[in-house]
Copies of this chain bind each other. A is one copy, B any other.
Amino acid sequence: MCTAATYKTKDFYMGRTLDYEFSYGDEVTVTPRNYPINFRFMGVRNNHFAMIGMAHVADDYPLYYEAFNEKGLGMAGLNFVDNAAYSEPDLRGLNGESNIENVAVFEFIPWILSQCATVDEAKERLQFINLTNTQFNEMFPCANLHWIIADKESCITVESMSDGLHIYDNPVGVLTNNPPFNIQMFNLNNYMGLSAKQPESNFSDRLDFNRYSRGMGALGLPGDLSSQSRFVKVAFTKMNSVSGDDEKSSVSQFFHILGSVDQQRGCCQLDDDKYEITIYTCCCNTTKGIYYYTSYDNHQICAVDMHKENLDGDKLVRYPLITDGEIRAVN
Interface residues of A (CB under 8 A from B): 1, 28, 82, 171-172, 177-179, 183, 186-204, 206-229, 232-233, 235-237, 239-243, 248-249, 251-253, 255-257, 259-260, 262-271, 275-276, 292, 294, 296-297, 299-305, 308-309, 317, 319, 322, 324-331
The dominant DSSP class at the A interface is loop
Residue of A211, A220, A267, A294 ringed by the most chain B CB atoms within 10 A: A267
Given A196-B266, A196-B268, A264-B237, A171-B208 contact (CB < 8 Å): yes
Q: Is there contact, CB below 8 Å, between B326 and A328?
A: yes
Q: Is there contact, CB below 8 Å, between B264 and A178?
A: no
Q: Is there contact, CB below 8 Å, between B178 and A213?
A: yes
Say how far A171's CB is from chain B's closest CB, in angstroms: 6
A192–B195 alpha-carbon span in the complex (Å) = 13
Q: Is there contact, CB below 8 Å, between A209 and B224?
A: no
Q: Is there contact, CB below 8 Å, between B201 and A192?
A: yes
Q: Is there contact, CB below 8 Å, between A209 and B226?
A: no
The interface residues of chain B lying within 8 Å CB-to-CB of A301 are 299-300, 325, 327-328
CB < 8 Å neighbour of A206 from B197, B224, B239, B319: B239
Complex: chain B residue closest to A28, CB-CB:
B330
Given A202-B217, A294-B299, A241-B222 contact (CB < 8 Å): no
Given A178-B213, A186-B212, A229-B223, A248-B324 contact (CB < 8 Å): yes
Say how far A56's CB is from chain B's closest CB, in angstroms: 18
The interface residues of chain B lying within 8 Å CB-to-CB of A195 are 193, 202-203
Q: Is there contact, CB below 8 Å, between A214 and B276?
A: yes
CB < 8 Å neighbour of A242 from B266, B294, B322: B266
Residue of A82, A197, A203, A331 ringed by the most chain B CB atoms within 10 A: A203
Q: Is there contact, CB below 8 Å, between A193 and B188?
A: no
Q: Is there contact, CB below 8 Å, between B224 and A223?
A: yes
CB < 8 Å neighbour of A267 from B220, B236, B263, B309: B236
